[in-house]
Amino acid sequence: MIEIKNISKKVGKKTILDDVSLKIEDGSFVVLIGPSGCGKTTTLKLINKLIEPTKGEIFINGTPISKESPIKLRRNIGYVIQSIGLFPHMTIKENIELIPKLKKQKNDEEIEEKTIELMNMVGLDPKEFLDKYPSELSGGQQQRIGLVRAIATDAEIILMDEPFSALDPITRTQLQEWLYSLQEELKKTIIFVTHDMDEALKLADKICIMKDGKVQQYDTVENLLRNPVNEFVKNFIGSDRLWNAPEYIKARDIMIKNPISVKRSRTVIQGMEIMRTNKVDSLLVVDKDENFLGIVTIKELRRNGIQNHYLSEIMNNEPVFVYDDNNLVEILEVMNREGIGHVPVVTRYNKLAGLITRSSLLSVLSEQFLEMEVSVLD
Ligand SMILES: Nc1ncnc2c1ncn2[C@@H]1O[C@H](COP(=O)(O)OP(=O)(O)OP(=O)(O)O)[C@@H](O)[C@H]1O
Ligand SMILES: [Mg+2]
């Protein structure tokens, strides 16, 4: 784990970082984002000991880095810097293999094999590029080499400072996918700086939004979208963002929270009466502990009602339902597939939580569009 504890950095009178604290779990993907000059690059440089803090300490796996030798530290941290930073007098191959060779954990053949594999992964033909010099490559190609070089070190921690900023959108998307699956597979700890919120949302486990050297919010993607702590964060994310990401809208956000429910021991006559007085056409049946058991609809009541005495005798025991943490996409899929206009919502512990109906869906969605229209008019 990387623990940044109460770090401040001053240069002269200017405060660049102001009491920054972050905990970064092993194997997680953290994105630093914020306006230009807010201190993102400075944060990376502090982790890598390229600069020293004015106050505070950074711990890596419990060890304060102020006590570590910078050389040793940097061998275990891959760093893709904002301005690429390839060594101009070394070939691409030499650039990539520099640290692996210094580490001496593998022989030259193994190192080369890895180099070739990584080159292919980022879509650069090893035969064509390995013996070239950085100045013979385009900016985007150099950025990819920077990436390969960082991965080739086998470092547990990789710092990436806007590694994709100079790439065209298609290459950028490809490399994002590549980095995402690489991370899934190798579980590196990645700290990634970007200006691009879409990129952050695509890649991050957690996002740290910074402004003027201060952390505004450090949170999971979901919490940022749902509970931005202040106006800055809200505006930074964009108010319509949640609605462009329907996978973050959960059943519990849309459902009616107190649906009409009845106990299974109710009689058919009572059930009809409850429907009539509440103006509903179905009843959700629960046991005494609110566990969800089934549904009785008005149709079934009319068809079989009179011959039966208890609701439990005619209810549908295998009703369609969704879980409260199912997302909008999943819910709509279920409703479409089953051809139903409403669906009960159940917790993972099988307690009845609510009911989603067409109109509850519509009202939530239209509220949002109303809000968007208003913000357009602002
Ligand atoms: N060595 C330095 N001396 C003085 N000021 C510095 C130094 N390095 C950085 N700064 C200032 O510190 C602030 C934060 O810089 P930093 O490079 O961390 O920003 P950033 O968030 O990475 O910005 P960008 O998105 O533009 O890369 C800026 O105002 C910058 O001018
Ligand atoms: Mg920067």
Q: What pLDDT band is residue 54 in, cutting at 50, 70 and 90?
A: very high
pLDDT of residue 305: 61
Residues 228 and 197: beta-carbon distance below 8 Å: no
Residues 154 and 118: beta-carbon distance below 8 Å: no
Query: Which of 170, 205, 239 is where one domain is finished?
Result: 239
One domain for residues 168 and 26: yes
Q: Please tell me the residue having the least CA distance from ligand 1 atom 13.
A: 37
Q: What is the CATH number of the domain that holds 321?
A: 3.10.580.10
Q: Cα–Cα distances in Å, from 362 out to 49, 359, 366?
A: 53, 5, 6
CA 269 to chain centre: 50
Residues 21 and 53: beta-carbon distance below 8 Å: no
Site to substitute for ligand 1 among 41, 46, 191, 193, most atoms within 8 A of C-beta: 41
- Which residues, 6+ apart, have CB-to-CB distance to 295 below 8 Å? 282, 283, 284, 285, 315, 316, 319, 344
- Say how many Å lie between the CA of residue 75 and the centre of ligand 1: 24
Q: Please tell me the residue having the least CA distance from ligand 1 atom 29.
A: 37
Q: How many domains are contained in the chain?
A: 2
Residue 267: beta bridge partners?
Answer: 310
pTM given for the model: 0.71
The label of the residue with tokens 């949302």 reads 201
Please provide the average confidence, as pLDDT, over all residues in the chain: 87
Query: Which of 239, 262, 287 is where one domain is finished?
Result: 239
pLDDT of residue 235: 85
Question: Does residue 16's CB lie within 6 angstroms of at least one atom of ligand 1?
Answer: yes
Site to substitute for ligand 1 among 8, 13, 42, 164, most atoms within 8 A of C-beta: 42
One domain for residues 200 and 318: no
One domain for residues 106 and 218: yes
Q: What is the pLDDT of residues 131-161, one digit of tens each?
A: 999 999 887 788 889 888 888 888 889 999 9
Q: Do the domain assignments include residue 374?
A: no
* CA dist., res. 278 & res. 205, Å (int): 44
One domain for residues 167 and 18: yes
Q: What is the pLDDT of residues 323-332, one digit of tens each?
A: 999 988 889 8
The candidate with the shortest Cα–Cα distance to 200, out of 176, 217, 168, 170, is 176
Residue 310: beta bridge partners?
Answer: 267
The ligand 1 atom at the shortest distance from the C-alpha of residue 35 is 25
Phi, psi of 215 (to 5 degrees): -80, 125
Q: Do the domain assignments include residue 46?
A: yes
Site to substitute for ligand 1 among 18, 40, 83, 216, most atoms within 8 A of C-beta: 40
Residue 80: beta bridge partners?
Answer: 160
The candidate with the shortest Cα–Cα distance to 4, out of 28, 27, 25, 20, is 20
Q: What is the pLDDT of residues 360-373, one digit of tens each?
A: 787 766 665 555 55
Q: Please tell me the residue having the least CA distance from ligand 1 atom 18.
A: 39
Residues with CB under 5 A from ligand 2 (ion): 40-41
Q: What pLDDT band is residue 357 in, cutting at 50, 70 and 90?
A: confident
Q: Of the spans 12-26, 195-209, 293-307, 314-328, which averages the highest pLDDT?
A: 12-26
Question: Does residue 153's CB lie within 6 angstroms of at least one atom of ligand 1?
Answer: no
* CA dist., res. 329 & res. 314, Å (int): 31
Question: Does residue 38's CB lie within 6 angstroms of at least one atom of ligand 1?
Answer: yes
Question: Does residue 36's CB lie within 6 angstroms of at least one atom of ligand 1?
Answer: yes
Q: What is the CATH number of the domain that holds 179?
A: 3.40.50.300
Q: Do the domain assignments include residue 345?
A: yes
Domain containing 311: what range?
Answer: 252-363
